[in-house]
Amino acid sequence: MSLSGLIILGLIVWFLFFRKKDQDRGPRLSAKYTGEPEDMGPVAKTYSFEPTGVTHECKYPNARTSRQASIYRSRKGDPVELRVYEWQGKPAVAVINQRTGYDIGVAKAGSDSPALQKLLEQYDVRARIEDITSFEYRRDTYRNTIVTAYCYERPEVHDLTQEQ
């Protein structure tokens, strides 16, 4: 074997065995992933929005990964969880990709967040990534998503403690 062949073989072995693995890789499938809704009935309302804060670090599950990396791992059709949390003393809505386990942004505080909070209170909401877009900011290109929330009427809950 020639010297160049040994160098190439050495590089391949080095790459396969000694490369740094992606330590921020999240779970492949979140435990909260429920897939497509079954027997949810007709969609009562839909609400589409673009998450903001996509150039910041992830909040969920930790802050060791950028949201851009999380969006890069996302795909059209991925289900997302809309999680209400407190930010600076006010309620906010995080958008978390259920397939990867990482957040991909937050709902805009002034408009999207209050609207989504009302929908989450009134309906069973299932959301997913409809599209992945890109935009330029200060000579850099970033990715973003378009998320659609599908709202279903909640089934009637009967109080079993009352006597008939």
- pLDDT digits over 74-92, tens only? 999 999 999 999 888 888 9
pLDDT beyond 60 at 33: no
**Domains in the chain and their CATH numbers?**
27-34+44-152 (3.30.70)
Mean pLDDT of 22-43: 52
Q: Where are the beta strands (DSSP E) in the chain?
A: 43-49, 79-87, 90-97, 103-106, 124-137, 140-152
Mean pLDDT of the chain: 82
d(CA 17, CA 5): 18
- pLDDT digits over 136-146, tens only? 988 999 999 99
